[in-house]
Amino acid sequence: MTERPLITDAPNTWCPGCGNFALEYAFRDVFQELQKEGISLEKFVLVTGIGCHAKIADYLDVNSFYAIHGRAIPVATGIKIARPDLHVICCVGDGDAYAEGLDHLIFGAKRNIDITVVVHNNRVYGLTTGQYTPTSPLGFKGRSTPAGTLEYPLNPLELMLTSGATYIGRGYTKNLKLLRPLLKDAILHKGFSFLDVLQICATYYDVHSMYDSLVYEVKEQPGESYEEVIKRLREWDYNNKAPIGLGTYYRKEAPTFNDRITVMKVSDREREEIIRRVLEEHL
């Protein structure tokens, strides 16, 4: 198999220092690694929302689909239902996923549809020049909030756990060494995988010095109780005041939405047999 460089000839318009470059590099490395491990490049499809992050579809030479703002997850869900053999990956922004598309994010997790959601979380609307998003910290001063926001940020990891996501992790664009394995893990996980990536916006919210001083690597804790996971997810509330854990927080095997669709298509007898097997495997 000849290795494609995976770079298109589209001119890159990200600002110098933008964290999206790191995500693009990480994706390229992971796609190439997975190709070497036997997954053909044609089996990956990237679905994006709207925002600076979405330009990754222009720059990475893989199958891709530009959805509208906040609607990457329903598109990805449709693709996965029609073509269960594909690895469907959503690249979405924080405004895109946690504001416009929040309902879709929650329902994707609730269904445990077997897709991967990677949030380029720069905690600002970059493409529209710096408005606050659901993960901007309290007091964030931007175009729409010159005197500072009056709202606390969302904790997306906690929200995803309570919504039913079966893989939850956090990455950082200045830690490529960790970002690559996290992306690979999230892509290979069977079920709804959610990766929140702290992405530096060099122009409207450059907090890399603060992140550099606060981040540390979390250790995966298999067998941990739900309450213990919640406690760890609450260590940082996205308000810039605590240590920030990076890594895999949660992973669970559970029937996916496609498994349930399969159950719907068969005879009553076969359905009973599948349900019995699923229960045996997962309870």
Per CB under 5 A, residues contacting Mg ion are 93-95, 122
- Shortest approach of ligand SF4 to residue 54 CB, angstroms? 10
Residue 65: CB minimum distance to Mg ion, A: 20
Figure out which of the listed residues 64, 77, 121, 122 binds ligand SF4, where binding follows CB under 6 A: 122
Q: Which of 162, 190, 182 is nearest to 246 (CA)?
A: 182
Distance between CA atoms of residues 251 and 282, nearest Å: 13
* Cβ-based nearer residue to ligand SF4, 23 or 45: 23
15 binds ligand SF4 (CB under 6 A): yes
By a kind-dependent CB cut-off of 5 to 8 A, residue 204 interacts, out of Mg ion, ligand SF4, none, with ligand SF4
Nearest one of 137, 112, 107, 111 to 122, comparing CA atoms: 137
Residue 14 binding ligand SF4, by CB under 6 A: yes
Q: Which of 49, 108, 126, 142 binds ligand SF4 (CB under 6 A)?
A: 126
Q: Considering the rule CB under 6 A, would residue 201 count as an interface residue with ligand SF4? A: yes
In terms of CB distance, is 15 or 41 closer to ligand SF4? 15
Q: Which of 20, 77, 166, 173 binds ligand SF4 (CB under 6 A)?
A: 20
Closest CB to Mg ion among residues 173, 256: 173
Structure tokens at 13: 């318009």
